[in-house]
Structure 1
Amino acid sequence: MQLPSEAVAATVLIEVVRISALPAEPGVAYPGRTVAHWTGSEAADALALIEDLPGSAQHRCGFRPGWSIRAYEESLDLALFEAAFCFTCHEVRMHGTAVPPALATQFFNADTPPAQALLALFRTAAP
């Protein structure tokens, strides 16, 4: 999977969100509960794992993401990007100031070891 490289390099904090609904309008943060904050090597490892997600064909489920990450730079102002993951339809939707339109919707193989490792990280983060 491709993430915005400059944003990845600038990321100092990742906020992990357990999504509770779809946003009311495009480009707005996915509603849900923040379950973890990752910094340092933990954030870098998670981003590397996401970048290792192999591509996949599109599956149809209606896009019901369960998890998202929000990446922040040092100022912690606005998120550089948010990526919402649906492990049923194998789709990731991204938005944010650092996301070019070509990266906004991508598909990943949710049955691969990197995807399963990412899902395990998300599940471990939730209390």
Structure 2
Amino acid sequence: MQLPAPAVAATALIEVVRISGLPRRRGDPYPGAVVTHWAGDEAADVLALIETLPGSAQYRCGFSPGWGVRAYDDALDLALFEAAFCFTCHEVRMQGTAVPPALSTQFFDADAERAQALLARFREAAR
């Protein structure tokens, strides 16, 4: 999976979000509870894991993401990017000022070992 490289380099903090629905308007953040924050090496490790998710064919489930990440720089004001993951249809939707249109919708193999490791990290964060 491809993330916006300049934003990844600038990321100082990641919020992990347990998504509860879809945004009301395009560009609004995905609603849900922030279950944890990752910073430093932990944030870098998660971003590296996301970047190594293998691609997949497109599946259709209606896109019902359960987990998301929001990446912030040192200013911690606006998210550099947000990625919402649907492990059912293998789709990731990204948004934010750092996200070029070509990266806004991607597909990943949700059954791959790396994707399952990411899902396990999300679930552990919610405990």
Normalised to the residue count of structure 1, the TM-score between the two structures is 0.99
**Aligned equivalents of 1:20, 1:111: Cα separation in 2:** 22
Residue 88 of structure 2 aligns to a residue in which SS?
A: coil
Deviation at 1:106, TM superposition (A): 0.1
User: Shift in Å at residue 55 of structure 1?
Assistant: 0.5
Tell me the equivalent position of 1:58: 58
Q: Distance in 2 between matches of 1:50 and 1:57?
A: 17
* Aligned AA (2:57): A
| 1:1-12 mapped onto 2 (5 Å cutoff) | 1-12=1-12
Residue 117 of structure 1 is matched in structure 2 by 117
Q: Which runs of 5+ in 2 are unaligned?
A: none
- 2:13 & 2:87 partners in 1: Cα distance? 23
- In 1, Cα distance between equivalents of 2:3 and 2:96: 12
Q: Deviations for 1:12-46, whole angstroms, at most 9, x for unmatched residues? A: 00000000111101111000000000000100000
Residue matched to 2:95: 95
Partner amino acid, structure 2, of 1:24: R
- 1:49-108 C-alpha deviation (Å, 9 max, x unpaired): 000000001000000000000000000010000000000000000000100000000000
The runs of at least 4 consecutive aligned structure 1 residues that moved more than 2 Å come to none
CA distance, structure 2, for counterparts of residue 99 and residue 106 of structure 1: 12
Counterpart code for 1:69: V
Gap regions ≥5 residues in structure 1: none
Amino acid at match of 2:68: S
Residue in structure 2 matched with residue 18 of structure 1 by the alignment: 18
1:35 partner SS: strand
One-letter code aligned to 2:124: T
TM-score (norm 2): 0.99
Name the counterpart of 1:69: 69
Give the length in aligned residue pairs: 127
Q: Secondary structure at the match of 2:16?
A: strand
Letter in 2 for 1:47: L
Aligned-partner Cα distance in 1 for 2:126–2:48:
20
